[in-house]
Amino acid sequence: MQQSTWTTDNTAIRGLSLDIPGRVVILHDPLQNATAKVDVFTDIPEFLEFVQSSLVTRADGSPYIRTTFRRDLIPQRQYHLHGSVLVHVTLQAPVSFVESSSRGDTILHQEAVSLGLNESLAVEASESNSVYLELNQTVELANLHLTTKDSGAIQLVTSGGINVASSLDVKANDGGVVAIQGELAVTSDRLKVTAADTGAIYVTSTTDQIVTVRQVASVTDKGKLNLYPRGVCNTSKIHVTEFSHANLGSIACQSVSVEASEGGAAVVQAVASLTANAVEGGRVQYFNSTAGLGLQFKSSNVWPVSQNEFTTFAFRPVPSQDALTIDLHGFGWGARFQPPNPVTAMAVPMVDATVGFMAMCGVLFLAFALCRPPKRKEPQPLKSSHTQLNTQYV
């Protein structure tokens, strides 16, 4: 195995942006001198030449570490990189946001993320990356934002409950999956869930229930939403369309408003009032005590059911922290990633994209000539070192 290490100075780090194939483990060490350290281990010698870590500042002034595998720097028109990759990101203090892309696994240790009723945490997974966060305590936060896209996945599991004082915001787009499981109650003032373009969201409490004041759900374009097995809320507003499914019959809400269209389907449970509109092949089914309200609907696509249907998620153990085998193929512009096998059970094959070299050059030249972007502060490369190791990661 070979190793490269990048370190920061004493600049406080608020987050991480990771775009590197393989397995990434995010650790916490309050005693290390640097605020952040990135170690890349691999048996692919040339792989290290194209990994870069930089200190970057967000528009809001938050500094973060960006680590990328620069496919665009590979000089060969055709290349094939095969071998194992393991990345350790060690933080002196926990961070409030993590963005992870590029096929592989990201394992978040609970000490590495900011927790507390005055803290907000945002996690994003994309490009077939699977993020695992498992905690042996109750999660308490002011806000929690979980986002997946492009077949990314996030699995959040706690042995306690999940208590979000303000907003629990969950998004799954373009084949992304978000799965949340609390052993105890999952509570928030507002639960906002958005599943689109075959994205899927699962929220469950294994021994208690889901409790929220305001529930807002949007499920479109074959999206899937499942909240189960029981819960309560004050108000619920649901929009489901384009052959999507919103299974919310487990959540007994005082007031429910639901719109279903273009083949979209929703299962709901209302305690006091239900407003439902089902058009263009949409359908709304209401469960349990809702039928006792004596409701009348103009649409024949709104009716009571005796069975509350929902789909459960098969939560998986956190992967090992060993190196992961990758297989990279590239040909000119539009390099593509081809795994020898599915990286994890949560990962979904991504769509390849190839862009002609000459066409891209023409577009870039025209864009540069017509609209030059304003100058911006360049990212600061981190200090790096390279070491040959005898350690073998399997």
Instruction: Express each pLDDT in 202-236 by its tens digit.
Output: 999 999 999 999 999 999 999 999 999 999 999 99
What is the mean predicted confidence (pLDDT) over 306-323?
96
Strands 51-57 and 380-381 come out as antiparallel
Q: How far apart are CA 69 and CA 81, in angstroms?
A: 12
For residue 339, being part of any structural domain is answered with no
Which residues touch 296 (CB under 8 Å, ≥6 apart)? none
Cα separation, 345 vs 80, in Å, equals 25
Predicted local confidence at residue 381, as pLDDT: 64
Question: Looking at the predicted structure, is the pLDDT value of residue 70 above 70?
Answer: yes
Q: Average pLDDT, stretch 145-169? A: 98
Is the pLDDT at 81 greater than 50? The verdict is yes
Asked if residue 128 is part of any domain, the answer here is: no
Q: Does any domain span residue 325?
A: no
Contacts for 80 with CB less than 8 Å, ≥ 6 apart: 327, 328, 329, 330
The first and second tokens of residue 146, run together, are 């979980």
Q: What percent of the chain has pLDDT over 70?
A: 83
Q: Share the mean pLDDT of the chain.
A: 86
Check residue 104 and give its pLDDT: 95
Mean pLDDT value of segment 313-339: 75
User: What is the C-alpha separation between 201 and 151, in angstroms, rounded?
Assistant: 13
Q: Give yes or no for residue 177 having a pLDDT over 80.
A: yes
pLDDT recorded at residue 9: 86
Q: Are 393 and 1 in contact (CB under 8 A)?
A: yes
Q: Compute the half-sphere exposure of residue 124: CA atoms within 13 Å on the CB side of its CA.
A: 16
Residue 392's pLDDT band, with cuts at 50, 70 and 90, is very low
CA 360/CA 334 separation, integer angstroms:
10
Q: How confident is the model at residue 321 (pLDDT cuts 50, 70, 90)?
A: very high
Mean local confidence (pLDDT), 59-65: 93
Q: Phi and psi at residue 307, in whole multiples of 5°?
A: -115, 130
171, 174, 358 from 147: Cα distances, Å? 5, 11, 35
In terms of pLDDT, which residue wins out, 388 or 23? 23
Which H, E and C letters describe the chain, residue by residue? Answer: CEEEEEECCCCCCCEEEEECCEEEEEEECCCCCCCEEEEEEECCHHHHHHEEEEEEECCCCCEEEEEEECHHHCCCCEEEEEEEEEEEEEECCCECEEEEECCEEEEECHHHECCEEEEEEEEEECCCEEEEEEECCCEEEEEEEEEECCCCEEEEEECCCEEEEEEEEEEEECCCEEEEEECCCEEEEEEEEEEECCCEEEEEECCCCEEEEEEEEEEECCCEEEEECCEEEEEEEEEEECCCEEEEEEEEEEEEEEEEECCCEEEEEEEEEEEEEECCCCEEEEEHHHHHHCCCCCCCCEEEECCCCCCCCCCCCCCCCCCEEEEEEEECCCCEECCCCCCCCCCCCCCCCCCCHHHHHHHHHHHHHHCCCCCCCCCEECEEEEEECCCCCC
> Which domain does 306 fall in, by range?
210-318
* Residue 269 is assigned to a structural domain of this protein: yes
pLDDT digit string, tens, across residues 82-120: 999 999 999 999 999 999 998 999 999 999 999 999 999
Whether residue 286 lies inside any domain: the answer is yes
Q: What confidence score (pLDDT) does residue 335 get?
A: 37
Nearest in space to 252 (alpha carbons), one of 308, 183, 312: 308
Q: Higher pLDDT residue, 384 or 264?
A: 264
Amino acid 376: pLDDT? 46
The reply to whether 244 falls in a domain is: yes
How many domains does the chain fold into? Answer: 1
The mean-pLDDT minimum among 264-273, 295-304, 346-355, 379-388 falls in 346-355
pLDDT-based confidence at residue 34 (cuts at 50, 70, 90): very high
Examine residue 362 and state whether it is found in any structural domain, yes or no: no
For the record, the structure tokens of 378 come out as 């360049």
- CA-based nearest residue to 254, from 284, 216, 213: 213
What is residue 297's predicted lDDT score, i.e. its pLDDT? 81
Mean pLDDT (whole number) for 321-339: 66
Whether the pLDDT of residue 379 is over 70: the answer is: no
Over range 248-272, report the average pLDDT.
97
Band of residue 391 on the pLDDT scale cut at 50, 70, 90: very low
Determine the pLDDT at residue 341.
Answer: 32
Give the whole-number percent of the chain exceeding pLDDT 90: 74
pLDDT at 383 over 70: no
Assigned domain for 219 exists: yes
